[in-house]
Chains A and B, each alone.
Chain A
Amino acid sequence: MLYLYAITITALVLSVIADRQKTRQALNIAVRRFTSILPDLLIIIVIASVVLYLIPSGTITGYLGNENKYLAVILAMLLGSITMMPGFIAFPLCGLLLSQGIPHFVLGAFSTTLMMVGIVTFPLERSFLGTKTALIRNTISLVIAIIVALTIGLFYQEIKI
């Protein structure tokens, strides 16, 4: 997070030195684009906070520890698709789940969908890609999550053919 600010400030300073007019133009673009996605962002915040309230993290552990491995993977993908978490929360959570005996391949499905598939972020995605393409992208991501999960399962010998 800090390094994002460091890069931005450096770039901005260099740009001001090089060309004041162009920098002003760049900032105008930044403000215009930001305000145009702002309503989508606000909706995401509302939906995410309601969803996170309804699904406490204890519930997640309960579902992912299911005896039936394949059911556990499906539940992991469903949970991962609803909630959208940044990596710095998602991976410590996965680490915690691992220490509670949740298998690696379930966590592979969970973390991949957590990062790639977002029902919560769908309004934002749709405003860029259009509804149909956004749906296709999310579906492809689900397939990738399944393949990743199965491969991890094979490597850790949690799944046997």
Chain B
Amino acid sequence: MKTGKKIEAGFFLLFFLFILFSVLVNFSAGKEMGLKSFYFGKNLFIMLPPAFVLIGLFQVWVKRETIEKHLGTGSGLRGHFFVILLAGSTVGGLYVAFPVAAALYGKGAKLSVIFSYLGAAAIVRIPMTIFEASFLGLKFTLIRFLISIPLVIVSAEILGKYLEARSYKMKENSK
């Protein structure tokens, strides 16, 4: 484990002890934070394990050539289209999207397509959209989609080009 990660883990342990202590001495602010972190953490730990299993399967089964052909350099607008469809069906938001993006990148997807994926995974996920339309109206959702999707693609293209010119490499976060 890297030192930075060790510090993070240590910090969490400290927080955990603080919550435990709060429960023991009945410190209400600490107890409430504990409860909030439990609900928030529970969600993450329900979503992430299956997502990582899928990433592992993707890593093993999908050939690099397939990804390069559809999402790599020269895939053009089609690459963005595919990846936005993929993002639309992703569950779990950006927590899941980052590792998926890293896996796609590792298999040869180009940077601008990666940023399209991240943007789309954040704001145009289908399961979430059903919620949105029912609470805020279909008109709201449609305007949001029609405006934000082109903006996501254009900004992803620019950012991808900019970073490629500076020979930027994304970390794959796996040792």
Contact = CB atoms under 8 A, between A and B. Distances in A.
Nearest to A150: B147
A115 B1 CA distance: 30
Size class of the contact patch on chain A:
35 or more
Contact of A46 (B12, B53, B98): B12
A83 to B, nearest CB: 11
Contacts of B54: 7-8, 11
A39 B13 CA distance: 10
Of the listed residues A98, A116, A130, the one surrounded by the most CB atoms of chain B closer than 10 A to its CB is A116
Of the listed residues A15, A88, A115, A125, the one surrounded by the most CB atoms of chain B closer than 10 A to its CB is A115
A11 B99 contact: no
A104 B136 contact: yes
A155 B51 CA distance: 37
Contacts of A49: 33-34, 36-37, 40
B21 interface: no
A13 B5 CA distance: 34
B108 interface: no
Nearest to B9: A39
A161 interface: no
B147 A147 contact: yes
B29 to A, nearest CB: 7
Contacts of A130: 168, 170-171
26 contacts: A4-B47, A8-B51, A11-B54, A12-B57, A22-B60, A23-B57, A25-B56, A26-B53, A37-B98, A39-B6, A39-B8, A46-B37, A52-B40, A91-B132, A91-B135, A91-B136, A115-B122, A115-B123, A118-B94, A121-B95, A128-B173, A137-B159, A141-B119, A144-B151, A147-B147, A148-B144
Given A42-B8, A52-B36, A91-B135, 8 more contacts: A36-B5, A42-B12, A91-B128, A115-B94, A128-B98, A128-B102, A129-B98, A133-B159
